[in-house]
A and B are shown apart, each in its own frame.
Chain A
């Protein structure tokens, strides 16, 4: 009893806040998940901006989506989230306390720019006299000492690099930015500040550092300009990079950069020479003629002559340089060298960095997209395309885009000084030495632990692994060695973006699970304001015309626009502030609304995409419906793009204000609406992923219904006995089963099947068939965890000869103990059976590691056994590479075969005869085999297709469930309220299924943790008097949001499901009678703007 009370007390004292250390994509995902499920987040970032490495990438594989476009919405949500406090330029000092109530001490380093005052206008950087290398562009271009990394940076405030800023150098003074800043945002006196954060748990997401290419001197990086690292090349590819996406060679760019300096030096020379000309009254030409004839002598003449020669030399050099710049061409031949700083025992980097094969493939594709004529070659050892959709991407690059892949070790790179090209010597697939010249060489550098990891681990009391990544357990990839601290992203080991994102969600689930009892205790509920009813009132419109410092007023005559606005119908109040978005101007808007009884407001300033939420909130606070507002974008769409045309820009601003005023007068109040959430989860599939998900939901304090089609829980994991890193999935899943069975919150249905589903996100109702009966379950979210299965091979005598087994069957034999496998002298394994085939064009991810793991186990039991592995590419990614190395050391033999020359199995005298054409030895060899083990593919679950149809969820080309986005939404479906995890999503390891399951729960908690969900009110409404129930709208809707439904008395009409409507307006166009009308974008409201274009200030 006392114990229980103590436990309750402990629960009460827990802190409902979580610190996320690191603001890269993994940390961002964690922060958003946590903040959206009822907890406060401190996002701590050492750099001045969040975004991490992903923000520096041009495109991402395998979709080649623009990286910053994908991140944009997440960054905006992060910046405006009321439960997230972003602490940039902040480092960790120490950690005290116990899980549930930690005190994390952090040091906030000064930014010298006040985040709440800086408007991001950029005038300071324009005028700053101190030029520094641009960190965001990897030092390939120049920036200023006061700088913002990129246009969409979060926070949007500028930052002063005090190590470079002149004002902070001893004995120097500047102060230019402070003088130029009209917002008064510069504060040189800011000081370091120690802050204690009270948090319940900590998530570490500090990312990685690219391998330092200088540590691999054989490639000439740092000595040869045209050898660049992959991250530098990424910046060259980017439109926001140093060359705006043109692939000029660094050697040429260096020459180009030297020209202005040379021109200046030449002018100086000329001035010096002119002095002589004046003094001695003869031209330099005359002088030199006489001097060379020996007619003039003396020290001053010698000096003149010396300067003359130097002048000539420089002039010659300048001409040459200019010529070179003029004839500058982009790189025509580019080579990528893989595994730089990876899979390299000599420099202590034994592991594989996971992402390099794919990013090199992407970069080569994008380079060819820029210019199809560019020749690309990737020099590699094994092509590792183990992620979802990666193999297809690789094949597309190779077969369609024409990227050349050369399986080879580079013997040397020689720079050719004449052309600045590089000569690569390598031995080709036929063991012939070859030489090729390239314009540029890209080093595919690996991922190393972030340099601060070891020190930070010490401060937090957690253990790093031998490569300084954060150590986690074999089955649990997010818990660090100290309870209450979780890790995600590349801080835990090399990984790509989707794996980082799902690990970010997974860590969020663990952290919030720990403090689930105090959910909601540290967050502020949104404030509520009384709203004035303006229906029936004539429009009384207020207008702000913003100067935005000089951003707008420097081009547009804002006073003239303000005067013009006064003449427009309905306008009662006009003001022209310096910064409309500043805090004091929000007060002015509220004051004006009160004093002038305004019922509509227009702000002519910048884009609604960033500033509409701010002004809408001001209206709300002033007692007006927030939708009675309109922004006229006279900055991005006017002053910034018509900088030289002041008059016409001013006329355009007037037009834009007139259009906004016309529209705002017709706007109506709109009310966001809420739907009640059934705080219960449905989980389909009772394997490792499903069980983990059910328990994670229960840990969060919510009930779960688990539906399993077979009589037994545990799925595939029951047959996985050991992993390469010491895990025991079968034991692990047994524990999960016991825990799930004894949980009061989990209802399990065995031999059950989902028959049908109704409702939408937050309120589903599902019919489940159990033992001939049908039960109904209501739930708010659905998690798909239906698993997959091992392919039953039709190849290599499987099923015909007892000596042929699958890898999974072999594992069972190994687990049964020595007696079962001791008799085998020769064991052969064949990889990619059923994978990477034309009809199943995907990699099954786990088979290479399974082969290595089982080889090692056999060698352990029976060291005398000969093991041969026949493979196409060995894909032991990440730390799994260490086991591959171990297998090679222990004498496991690896033979590579080509796709079109597969091994052949025959029944021999005393076993099996296996013939394989070894592509390295270039000959056919015979392997006598006692046991043939087939690394069979992973296939989607048999019932996936049926379930997909029942639930109306999409499958990918291979029959696995298709996530909302392969990069940033790997655990969500496009349909709100549905999530996925485990083998149902694609082939993966047991610990990855566990990780995904927890991640899916984290995503689900963003809905499940709320009593109600609020949806924006900008949805279509149907006028019943006009609707003919023709169904055209239903046809047009992509989201099942509008349906012809029987209302009372058998009468039919279109009914909108407001929770599903996205406000796209497609049904409005389809509706023949005008019954379907999108709120806030009604015909009349749009037509008023068009009408206001009538007087477009046309040029003469």
Chain B
């Protein structure tokens, strides 16, 4: 693994809490690395194992589920 490795992350966020949190981070201009791609769900109850595997298959280095 090279020293400047930065993981590509796919994040599944709940519309009502974590997604709102990501919005607030924006409003507060909190800076973070641009290596996350957010997929909005109405609730993380919608998650299933398949999505996580699919994300890794698509080349993600990490998957975050937050809700």
Complex A-B, nearest 7 residue pairs according to Cβ-Cβ distance, in ascending order:
A1065-B46, A636-B26, A1066-B45, A1064-B43, A640-B26, A1064-B45, A1096-B8
B29→A1065 contact, CB < 8 A: no
The chain B residue with its CB closest to the CB of A655 is B37
The interface-forming segment of A782-790, A817-825, A914-922, A1078-1086 is A1078-1086
A659 to B36: give the CA distance in the assembly, Å: 13
Q: Does B64 contact A (CB under 8 A)?
A: no
B54→A1087 contact, CB < 8 A: yes
- For B51, give its contact among A642, A1086, A1099 (CB under 8 Å): A1086
The interface-forming segment of A645-653, A884-892, A988-996 is A645-653
- For B10, give its contact among A643, A1036, A1093 (CB under 8 Å): A1093
The chain B residue with its CB closest to the CB of A648 is B34
A1068→B46 contact, CB < 8 A: yes
A-B contact pairs, 21 of them (CB 8 A): A72-B20, A607-B26, A609-B20, A633-B38, A640-B26, A641-B29, A641-B31, A648-B34, A655-B37, A656-B37, A659-B39, A1065-B45, A1069-B48, A1083-B50, A1087-B54, A1090-B51, A1093-B58, A1096-B59, A1098-B35, A1099-B6, A1100-B4
- Residues in A whose Cβ lies below 8 Å from that of B48: 1068-1069
**Interface mask (A1055-1096 → B, CB under 8 Å = 1, otherwise 0):** 000000011111011000000001001010011011101101
B41→A1066 contact, CB < 8 A: no
Q: Does A644 contact B (CB under 8 A)?
A: yes
Known: A636-B25, A641-B31, A1093-B55. 17 other contacts (CB 8 A): A633-B23, A637-B23, A640-B27, A641-B32, A642-B33, A1018-B42, A1063-B42, A1063-B43, A1065-B42, A1065-B43, A1087-B54, A1090-B39, A1091-B54, A1091-B58, A1093-B59, A1099-B4, A1099-B6
A1062 to B46: give the CA distance in the assembly, Å: 11
- Residues in A whose Cβ lies below 8 Å from that of B20: 72, 609
- Residues in A whose Cβ lies below 8 Å from that of B19: 609
A724 to B19: give the CA distance in the assembly, Å: 51
Report B24 CB to chain A, min CB distance, Å: 7
Q: Does A151 contact B (CB under 8 A)?
A: yes
B37→A1096 contact, CB < 8 A: yes
Report B62 CB to chain A, min CB distance, Å: 11
Report B48 CB to chain A, min CB distance, Å: 4
The chain B residue with its CB closest to the CB of A1094 is B58
- Residues in B whose Cβ lies below 8 Å from that of A642: 31-34
- For B41, give its contact among A643, A652, A1081 (CB under 8 Å): A1081
B54→A1090 contact, CB < 8 A: yes
A672 to B48: give the CA distance in the assembly, Å: 26
B6→A659 contact, CB < 8 A: no
Q: Does A635 contact B (CB under 8 A)?
A: yes
Q: Does A608 contact B (CB under 8 A)?
A: yes
The chain A residue with its CB closest to the CB of B42 is A1063
Q: Does A708 contact B (CB under 8 A)?
A: no
**Interface mask (A272-314 → B, CB under 8 Å = 1, otherwise 0):** 0000000000000000000000000000000000000000000
The chain A residue with its CB closest to the CB of B28 is A151
A1069→B10 contact, CB < 8 A: no
B23→A636 contact, CB < 8 A: yes
A1065 to B48: give the CA distance in the assembly, Å: 10
Q: In chain A, residues 150-195, which have Cβ atoms closer than 8 Å to a Cβ of chain B? A: 151
Report A158 CB to chain B, min CB distance, Å: 15
User: Which among A643, A1063, A1100 has the highest number of chain B CB atoms within 10 Å?
Assistant: A1063
- Residues in A whose Cβ lies below 8 Å from that of B10: 1090, 1093, 1096
- Residues in A whose Cβ lies below 8 Å from that of B15: 609
- Residues in A whose Cβ lies below 8 Å from that of B60: 1093, 1096
- Residues in B whose Cβ lies below 8 Å from that of A649: 34
User: Which among A1086, A1090, A1096 has the highest number of chain B CB atoms within 10 Å?
Assistant: A1090
A35 to B39: give the CA distance in the assembly, Å: 34
The chain B residue with its CB closest to the CB of A1091 is B58
Report B56 CB to chain A, min CB distance, Å: 10
**Using a CB–CB distance below 8 Å, which chain A residues touch chain B?**
72, 151, 607-609, 633, 635-638, 640-645, 648-649, 651-652, 655-656, 659, 1018, 1036, 1062-1066, 1068-1069, 1078, 1081, 1083, 1086-1087, 1089-1091, 1093-1094, 1096, 1098-1100
Given contacts A637-B38, A1091-B54, A1099-B6, contact A607 B23 (CB under 8 A): yes
B55→A1090 contact, CB < 8 A: yes
User: Which among A608, A637, A1065, A1066 has the highest number of chain B CB atoms within 10 Å?
Assistant: A637
The chain B residue with its CB closest to the CB of A1038 is B45
The chain B residue with its CB closest to the CB of A663 is B39
Q: Does B1 contact A (CB under 8 A)?
A: no
B22→A636 contact, CB < 8 A: yes
The chain B residue with its CB closest to the CB of A635 is B26
- For B26, give its contact among A641, A651, A659, A1086 (CB under 8 Å): A641
- For B46, give its contact among A651, A659, A1066 (CB under 8 Å): A1066
A1063 to B44: give the CA distance in the assembly, Å: 11
A1087 to B45: give the CA distance in the assembly, Å: 16
- Residues in A whose Cβ lies below 8 Å from that of B40: 608
A1094 to B20: give the CA distance in the assembly, Å: 25
Report A112 CB to chain B, min CB distance, Å: 24
User: Which among B10, B34, B38, B42 has the highest number of chain A CB atoms within 10 Å?
Assistant: B34
- Residues in B whose Cβ lies below 8 Å from that of A635: 26
Report B45 CB to chain A, min CB distance, Å: 4
Given contacts A655-B37, A1081-B41, A1086-B41, contact A1064 B29 (CB under 8 A): no
A335 to B5: give the CA distance in the assembly, Å: 50
Report B4 CB to chain A, min CB distance, Å: 7
A641 to B28: give the CA distance in the assembly, Å: 9
A1036 to B58: give the CA distance in the assembly, Å: 29
B46→A1081 contact, CB < 8 A: yes
B59→A1094 contact, CB < 8 A: yes
- Residues in B whose Cβ lies below 8 Å from that of A652: 34, 37
The chain B residue with its CB closest to the CB of A1036 is B45
B45→A1069 contact, CB < 8 A: yes
- Residues in A whose Cβ lies below 8 Å from that of B35: 1096, 1098-1099
A644 to B32: give the CA distance in the assembly, Å: 10
Report B58 CB to chain A, min CB distance, Å: 4
Report B51 CB to chain A, min CB distance, Å: 6
A1099 to B36: give the CA distance in the assembly, Å: 12
A132 to B54: give the CA distance in the assembly, Å: 53
A1069→B26 contact, CB < 8 A: no
A555 to B28: give the CA distance in the assembly, Å: 16
User: Which among A635, A655, A1065, A1087 has the highest number of chain B CB atoms within 10 Å?
Assistant: A1065
- Residues in B whose Cβ lies below 8 Å from that of A609: 15, 19-20, 23
The chain B residue with its CB closest to the CB of A150 is B27
- Residues in B whose Cβ lies below 8 Å from that of A1068: 46, 48
Report A538 CB to chain B, min CB distance, Å: 25
The chain B residue with its CB closest to the CB of A656 is B37
A637→B46 contact, CB < 8 A: no
- Residues in A whose Cβ lies below 8 Å from that of B38: 633, 637
The chain A residue with its CB closest to the CB of B27 is A151
- Residues in A whose Cβ lies below 8 Å from that of B55: 1090, 1093
A1087 to B49: give the CA distance in the assembly, Å: 12
A607 to B60: give the CA distance in the assembly, Å: 24
A597 to B5: give the CA distance in the assembly, Å: 45
- For B27, give its contact among A636, A1090, A1099 (CB under 8 Å): A636
Given contacts A609-B23, A1090-B55, contact A638 B41 (CB under 8 A): no
- For A638, give its contact among B8, B30, B34 (CB under 8 Å): B34
A1078 to B20: give the CA distance in the assembly, Å: 21
- Residues in A whose Cβ lies below 8 Å from that of B39: 659, 1086, 1089-1090
A608 to B22: give the CA distance in the assembly, Å: 12
A247 to B32: give the CA distance in the assembly, Å: 26
The chain B residue with its CB closest to the CB of A244 is B28
The chain A residue with its CB closest to the CB of B50 is A1083
The chain A residue with its CB closest to the CB of B14 is A1064
A1096 to B6: give the CA distance in the assembly, Å: 12
- Residues in B whose Cβ lies below 8 Å from that of A607: 23, 26
- Residues in A whose Cβ lies below 8 Å from that of B54: 1087, 1090-1091
The chain B residue with its CB closest to the CB of A1080 is B42
